[in-house]
A and B are shown apart, each in its own frame.
Chain A
């Protein structure tokens, strides 16, 4: 039974609590994702989206609860875990006194990427920065930096991607390119978690949607069961009230989906 559980989910989050001092940023979050799932995580500012992503990718240590990704506990198997996850966050993690190619070369070496030079060429091509390969990153616009950050995050071909507001600063073309790229990854069977303010962008890409509010995962649903036109109303209703624990009708609405996809958190 336990074995089955392990096989079934690639991301397991159980009773995750993260506190900063006495303030809770995450309150008992439970989240289960299967391989190939693509989750769009919505939530207002300060809901704990970034904290959740950072805890998932082991940058933050959970105060309580556990995060197990592909069988690796984020507290103990960090190095093994880092080989299979890629992270795009608010910060680009780029050294701005190095050129685009040098940045990729540095991170490629850190991840022990084989045939690195070809890989860098391929990635630069992919994110459309051919003309700027040998320019220092500090001369880049925010959008270009974000493109390079995408290339940096996938240099080791990770099986799981965490994207924290990946569309920030990208122009229309950039958004389109990134979307195509993420679509490609999805089709390759990569697992993706993406946070966003923009409901429609998240919904068109993912097969699951979740809403985080005040550190509680109040809603998780398969995208097939969501009426896209009503989702905005639902989102505003759920987040606007700043209410938790979750009301009973809401849980009932997602009852049948619990078997098929992830679980709903029951705030204690």
Chain B
């Protein structure tokens, strides 16, 4: 890797580190405690960006899958894979932080709200995506996972619509009403959003670098084998 690229990455990492700290500071010391929900509301600053980034991760997988099938370049397959992996991590964060917040506020851990349910289904889809990559033969892996990456993402809006329709037929007991957000809260949210986005791209970049290294070592060992042949 070129030196300038490395410098760029280091800078990105340092900025992310600082931003994360700033976000922590903002969440716990700068933002005021919400009046009705109390301290537990602060988990929203993590929950919301994580949810956004999970969707972003899956969206990148979708785009990279299309690009792979179009260009047949394995780097797009690697990008789709790495993005799906990070997406699953953020999705898991969403699914863990959600119930922690919901229990004291809604008095239940889980509710079959369209957004919650869609997120859960999405989590299952991409776990399946990662599992599929694990079991198929190497020369078919890229094709299969790209097709599944596309199908999985296209399915999201249909699932969301179906679930929303499904819930609206039952009496709606719980609505996620808008929270009164004061200005410091808005600032905090913006900052955590930024920090999480930086974290996401940092993770994605290093994960792709790792994947590239793995591919390079595979290529090298194949080359060594060929040299062995030609001896």
**Residue A245 is within 8 A (CB to CB) of chain B in the complex:** yes
Given A20-B138, A20-B139, decide whether A242 and B222 contact each other with a Cβ distance below 8 A: no
In the bound complex, residues from chain A placing their C-beta under 8 Å from that of B225 are 23
In the bound complex, residues from chain A placing their C-beta under 8 Å from that of B111 are none
In the bound complex, CA of A44 to CA of B181 (Å): 75
Is B226 within 8 A of A24, CB to CB? yes
A21, A243, A245: which contacts B218 (Cβ < 8 A)?
A21
Contact with B along A222-262 (1 / 0, CB 8 A): 00000000000000000000111100000000000000000
Is A245 within 8 A of B138, CB to CB? no
In the bound complex, CA of A20 to CA of B139 (Å): 6
Interface size on A, residues (CB 8 A): 10
Is B230 within 8 A of A243, CB to CB? yes
* Shortest Cβ distance from B215 into A: residue: A22
* Shortest Cβ distance from A242 into B: residue: B229
Is A23 within 8 A of B222, CB to CB? yes
Interface size on B, residues (CB 8 A): 11
In the bound complex, CA of A214 to CA of B228 (Å): 12
B215, B221, B222, B230: which contacts A244 (Cβ < 8 A)?
B230
- CB of A245 to closest CB in B, whole Å: 7
In the bound complex, residues from chain A placing their C-beta under 8 Å from that of B218 are 21-22
Is A21 within 8 A of B229, CB to CB? no
- CB of B214 to closest CB in A, whole Å: 11
Return the 7 tightest CB-CB contacts between A and B, nearest first: A22-B222, A21-B138, A22-B218, A20-B139, A22-B219, A214-B229, A23-B222
A selection of 22 A-B contacts at a CB cut-off of 8 Å is A20-B138, A20-B139, A21-B138, A21-B139, A21-B218, A21-B222, A22-B215, A22-B218, A22-B219, A22-B221, A22-B222, A23-B222, A23-B225, A24-B222, A24-B226, A214-B229, A242-B229, A243-B229, A243-B230, A244-B229, A244-B230, A245-B230
